Structure 1
């Protein structure tokens, strides 16, 4: 029969919105090259591979080009599969062993929200690297860095929505770039977009890992611990965020689009 695979739209309750991820349920360890080939074949921003381990699952994420250390939407998709396919009881915590350490998820039965527990990472202010503002033509109020990603705050939501990056040039400058602004809309507190052409993702539809940086940044700016955020890609998606110490709780919904078998 092969391995069971799913395609899940994460950070949305609507089909064909949010961020699509593939989830592959493994029955044994697989070579890195094999997982990379599957991710290339799926051609989504991330493909997640789940392998039962200890009291949870070994979880790895691959873009079409490379393995990544942290991915929010594919973790949400993985938890969604475990709960909806009844591989894990709704009142049990999902435990994932990853390159970023132990990550957990829990299902809120009352509202259908899945809440991820992720590490927060506050950006530090810095000068832009050469070429960044040419590749990403905005007028930033703030530029910060976390590892290989840059966060740029601009003055208005309209600026976030209007930016058109030079993707080949951006891929030569940074691994990832987040553009954000406070929102005047009542539905959410801040808005963002995320670009990572170096990893084969020109614009990611909804990025949980980017909100590990955005949540502590806006916590300092707004002097609050809880937020609703909107990622303004073409597909778009909503996230509920709560800062707890050096962790961020990332809440979202998901919907299964496809279920099938990978013939191996």
Structure 2
């Protein structure tokens, strides 16, 4: 089986979010895939068999992952695939297409957040005063007052793991050039303390910031240590996510 590591949502090596991509040659047990994901120790490892795509963190299987889908499409396009690719996933059919400038676009479901009371312990763990708190299907969304606040976040990761959500997105309007909003994403409950760049979080961020800024097409900067850029376009109940990707290494799996 072929195995790859791809840096997603970046056009520079060692930036963006690294994902492993395993091209399965036949069905494998869930426990084997979970063990390999733990061995890779990246925020996600994608497993592709035919058109069926699954994603595992080092700790659990997840129902939606943007950067590992982008990484998978990048691998397939690099090997000669063309046109629209469709993947069968736990979040329905997801499609990708290579666009101009080397971008790969992805057709994902929108996951809008609705305003909600902060669950006990959330704000103490984040150590912030929120402007708005909401909950989407998978995650909590917290808007804060500034990009500087997002950059300075130093949450209590152990306490965040007690929050009943896949992860916590913290966001603010961008002040940097080339971006409309910034964010960071913490998912210790899923085995990922901080995810470098999170495509699925932008399924929440896109409808939120489109409503606030009045524009369907936006650019999000995820301001983790590695950093990355996600271009978003809201289309009703779908979100187009687009980004670059870079292959770091590839090899054969000896199992």
TM-score by length of 2: 0.98
**C-alpha offsets along residues 45-86 of structure 1, whole Å, 9 cap, x if unaligned?**
00000111xxxx100000000000000000000000000111
Partner Cα separation in structure 2 for residue 250 and residue 221 of structure 1: 19
Distance (whole Å) between structure 2 residues aligned to residue 138 and residue 211 of structure 1: 21
Match among 184, 197, 201 for residue 188 of structure 2: 197
Give yes or no for the alignment of 1:250 onto 2:249: no
Which residue in the other structure is 1:179 paired with?
170
| Aligned mates of 2:177, 2:58 — CA distance in 1 | 36
Between the aligned partners of 1:185 and 1:43, the Cα distance in structure 2 is 32
1:78 aligns with 2:72: yes
1:23 to 21, 24, 32: 21
**Residues 11-39 of structure 1 deviation map (CA, whole Å, 9 limit, x = unaligned):** 00100000000000011111100100100
* Residue deviations 1:106-162 (CA, integer Å, cap 9, x gap): 001x31000000000110001100111111111100000012411000110000000
Name the CA distance, whole Å, in 2 between partners of 1:117 and 1:225: 14
From 204, 226, 245, the equivalent of 1:213 is: 204
Distance in 2 (alpha carbons) for counterparts of 1:186 and 1:80 = 27
Q: Could you list the structure 1 runs, at least 4 aligned residues long, displaced by more than 3 angstroms after superposition.
A: none
Q: In structure 2, the residue corresponding to 1:208 is in which secondary structure?
A: coil
- Write the distance in 2 (CA, Å) between the matches of 1:216 and 1:246: 9
Paired residue for 1:39?
Answer: 37
Aligned 1:89-238 pairs, distance under 5 A:
89=82, 92-108=83-99, 110-174=100-164, 175-238=166-229
Shift of residue 245, structure 1, vs aligned partner: 1.1
* Number of aligned residues: 254
Equivalent position SS for 2:160? helix
Distance 1:215 1:112 in 2: 22
Question: What value does the CA root-mean-square deviation take over the aligned residues?
Answer: 0.7
Structure 1, unaligned stretches of length 5 or more? Answer: none
Give 1:69's match in structure 2, choosing from 60, 63, 67.
Answer: 63
